[in-house]
């Protein structure tokens, strides 16, 4: 029986301790953690033991276990080779933190067509700040990726080699983890080089050892039917759910069109063994993300999934 988790990104307006406490009070035993307000990846790379201790104490205090760690590295498909390699190197520097934390898997973006568009998948509207590995602790400027000005002729792709760049980056990342049990997944999402099922499947097939984190709402928002998503399930290692509709990446429960019973039936039919994480985002606007009462919406989806799970599988 797959476990039910909750993503901390829904509570990015709270301190991590308060977010974890809220998730525990909602009755979850598992959670997903993402970089951003709750996790400074630069701090984690520099002092992994301190960050592992900080997070582990909270998990222990509230009797929670991690199911996934989402790292915001948007430039893995960038046309700028230096930028791509910098993020691969940053991932390598984060490995001691990841492994000591004991999380079973890491989710990454497949890479954004233009990685400077940092709004994509950010839990709140701010730029991604990355520190060069060699910088001093203080009195240095952050490296900030910001939206570029449009360039090129009409219809000209911003980064024509993005997909091949992503393959190269993920081959390097999978190689870095080949002597570990760590799962490496990509999340096919809007604005990425693998936004559709076809592109996502092509990417995981091009990189042996790579798996998928399926945020089902990303496909629902594109009007993609379940039959088109099903071929991805053989590669699915993690699943994220929330209500959504065509053109609206996050909706109130009663306005969404995502059929949770159909999703769970497909997962069971395809022998899915991972967790299901309820992932709302406390960030309105991007691709129709509605501002919601996250606690209420999470509770509604939690209850429906529990009911369907019980009916389909039996037990609690």
- Alpha helices (runs of H) in 158-274, residue ranges in sequence order: 162-176, 197-206, 216-220, 226-229, 260-269
C-alpha 121/C-alpha 109 separation (Å) is 8
Q: Which two tokens stand for residue 114?
A: 């233009």
Question: Whole-model pTM?
Answer: 0.86
Give the residue extent of every domain in the chain.
4-149+157-313
Name the token pair of 275: 């967790």
Architecture label for domain 4-149+157-313: Alpha-Beta Barrel (3.20)
Could you list the pLDDT tens digit for every one of the 316 residues in the chain? 689 999 999 999 999 999 999 999 999 999 999 999 999 999 999 999 999 999 999 999 999 999 999 999 999 999 999 999 999 999 999 999 999 999 999 999 999 876 444 333 333 333 333 333 333 333 222 222 233 333 334 344 456 799 999 999 999 999 999 999 999 999 999 999 999 999 999 999 999 999 999 999 999 999 999 999 999 999 999 999 999 999 999 999 999 999 999 999 999 999 999 999 999 998 888 888 999 999 999 999 999 999 999 999 886 5
Residues 6+ apart with CB under 8 A from 43: 50, 51
């Amino acid at each position: 029986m797959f476990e039910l988790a909750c993503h901390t990104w829904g509570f990015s307006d709270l301190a991590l301790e308060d977010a974890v406490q809220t998730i525990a009070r909602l009755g979850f035993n598992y959670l997903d953690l993402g970089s951003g307000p709750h996790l400074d990846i630069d701090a984690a790379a520099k002092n992994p033991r301190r960050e592992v201790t900080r997070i582990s104490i909270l998990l222990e205090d509230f009797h929670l276990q991690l199911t996934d760690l989402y790292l915001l590295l948007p430039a893995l498909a960038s046309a700028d080779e230096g930028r791509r390699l910098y993020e691969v190197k940053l991932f390598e520097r984060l490995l001691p933190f990841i492994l000591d934390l004991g999380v079973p898997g890491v989710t990454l973006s497949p890479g954004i067509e233009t990685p400077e568009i940092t709004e994509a998948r950010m839990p709140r509207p701010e730029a991604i700040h990355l520190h060069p590995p060699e910088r001093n602790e203080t009195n240095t400027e952050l490296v900030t990726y910001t939206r570029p000005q449009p360039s090129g002729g009409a219809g000209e792709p911003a980064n024509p080699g993005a997909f091949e760049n992503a393959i190269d980056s993920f081959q390097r990342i999978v190689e870095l983890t080949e002597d570990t049990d760590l799962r490496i997944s990509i999340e096919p999402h809007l604005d990425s080089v693998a936004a559709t099922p076809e592109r996502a499947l092509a990417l995981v097939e091009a990189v042996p050892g790579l798996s998928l984190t399926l945020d089902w709402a990303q496909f629902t928002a594109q009007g993609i039917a379940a039959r088109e998503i099903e071929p991805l399930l053989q590669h699915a290692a993690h699943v994220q759910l929330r209500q959504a509709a065509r053109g609206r990446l996050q909706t109130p429960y009663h306005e969404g069109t995502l059929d949770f019973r159909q999703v769970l039936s497909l997962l069971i039919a395809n022998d899915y063994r991972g967790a299901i994480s309820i992932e709302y985002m406390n960030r309105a606007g991007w691709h129709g993300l509605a501002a919601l009462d996250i606690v209420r919406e999470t509770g509604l989806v939690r209850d429906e999934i529990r009911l369907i799970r019980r009916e389909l599988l039996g037990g609690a």
